[in-house]
Structure formats: C-alpha cells, structure tokens
Amino acid sequence: MSHSTAQQLTGQDDASVALREALVRLSGDVADLHADRRAAAEGRANLLHSLLIEIDETMLPRQLTLFFGQDAVAKLRVGHRRLLSLELTNDTGNTHPVDAISPAQTYAQQLQQLSAMYQNTGFHITRRACETGIETQSCSATQIADCLVPQAPQGSRLSQVLASVSALAEAWVLLGEDSAQLGSSGPETLTDKLTELARADKAAKAKSGRALRMPEMIPSFMLLTISGDTKVIMSWDQTETLLIALPAQQVPAANAAWHKVFSA
C-alpha cells in the first residue's frame, strides 16, 4: 500500500452510471479480463458481486450456470436485468427459506447460503440462451442486493452504509472500539490487509496524536487506491471504523449510500 493515494468522495448523480460501468467493463483491457477470470477461478473474487453484475448486465434471456470446480451448483435464468429463477442443484440444507417474504429475500438467502458454503473456493459462470416463460418470482439485482444484509451489528450508521453496498464489495471489515472486529467478509488475504490498514491508522494516532482520520465524533471517509482497479473506502463514525474494498466502478454507489445515511 506504499503507493496508495487518497481523495475525498464527491457526489455523482448520473442516470447513465450503470450503462457506463457496463461499457467500461466490456471495453476493458484483455489482460484485466483474464485477471478477473483468474481471481474467480482461484477463489479470490466475491461470488455475490460477480453474480449480481451478471444479472444486472443481462438483457437477452440467458441461463447462467455456476460451477465450483467441475460441479454445477446453481442454475439462474436471467433476462431484462432481472433474475427470473434460481435452481440449486446441490443440497444446501435449506433451499426454500421459510422466513423470506419476497422473491428478492428468497434469492438473497439462497445466494448467501452458496457463498458461505463455498467461501474462498474457485468458481466460474457459463451462459447460454434460454426461454423466459411466464415468471411471477423475478426481481432485479438491486432488490437482491438490498436484502443481502451483512452479518454485523445492526443499528449503527456505518452498518447501514455497509448493508447497502456489501454485495458489491470484494471484501469488507467493520471494527469497533480498540480495533475489535465486529464483522468481515471476503477473501482472507484481503480482509487481513484491510484490518492491518485500520490498525496501522490507530497505532499512528496513538503514537503521534494524528492519523488518517478526522476527529472520531465527526463522520468522515476517504478513498484509497491500493492496486490495479481495487479501491478501498476507509470511513469512521463514533468509535467504529469501516473499510470496504471494491472495484472502481462501484465507488459512485458507495458514495450514494454514504450520503443517503449521513444526510438523513
């Protein structure tokens, strides 16, 4: 992180953000695309993030098949940027959550189940044309993301920010007073880096009375560039510190989530 740069996030209100992000990914450097595939194959990519991107960028009807190794574990039918159906081909122990009251909640719980069972396992996704049929249980990627509440204490303002963007993140770490970890998600190597960054900040503050942060009572955050296309949002509120690693194209969504919580 010796080459990290920091900047304050600024507001962005642009209805074409989603289309622009898709075009940026589709026109990306071939080496970057191969790197993304390798990250997924080696278990370093965020499964939920990858699936939600696939759903949000699929217009023509497609069947997406999710593989872990050689095993097909889920089939998703997608069209018009909506998830039409989700079939789990392996027994996950709870394929029909009883406490879900909407299609988005059902799909979110099933996807979280898959992510927990195969954490840090390499995966790949195949696509083929399919029929849409008549669907009554469809929902958008955004609706699913809204239901993917992180396993962290609820109620604090940083937890509310996290609940809005965790599904789009590569990893996140939420720390409380004295750097006690309240929750985390993502590849261990990346969560360890985030934790190390937060604790280095706290140690610097204790040593010199100054650190990256503004006064704890004032909500604040900054954007760090750590490597390639990966950004880290480092934020503080009261005694909590939240770090979120995410692709650069997801920064506007994180910015919007922050301002929605702290301008309320």
Q: What is the pLDDT of residues 97-122, one digit of tens each?
A: 444 568 888 898 888 878 777 766 78
Give all domains of the chain, ordered by start, each with its CATH number.
5-11+151-262 (3.30.450.190), 42-147 (no CATH)
| 26-30, 93-97, 195-199: range with highest mean pLDDT | 195-199
| 51-60, 100-109, 112-121, 145-154: range with highest mean pLDDT | 51-60
pLDDT at 223 over 60: yes
Average pLDDT in the 44-61 region?
85
Give the pLDDT score at 33: 56
Measured CA distances, 41 to 46, 92, 120, 158 (Å): 11, 21, 10, 31
Give the pLDDT score at 74: 93
| 38-42, 91-95, 166-170, 210-214: range with highest mean pLDDT | 166-170
Give the count of alpha carbons within 13 A of 97, CB side only: 15
Q: Identify whether the C-beta of residue 64 lies closer than 8 Å to the C-beta of residue 125.
A: yes
Closest CA to 113 of 73, 79, 85: 73
Closest CA to 233 of 225, 184, 191, 200: 225
pLDDT at 23 over 60: no
- Could you read off the pLDDT of 172-212 as tens digits, one per residue? 998 887 777 888 888 888 889 999 988 887 777 667 655 44
Q: Kindly report the pTM of this predicted structure.
A: 0.51
d(CA 7, CA 135): 45
Give the pLDDT score at 225: 84
What b-and-e string marks burial along 21-58, b requiring 16 or more CB atoms within 10 Å of the CB?
Answer: beeebeeeeeeeeeebeebbeebbbbbbbbbbbbbbbb
Give the pLDDT score at 86: 92
Average pLDDT in the 208-229 region?
66
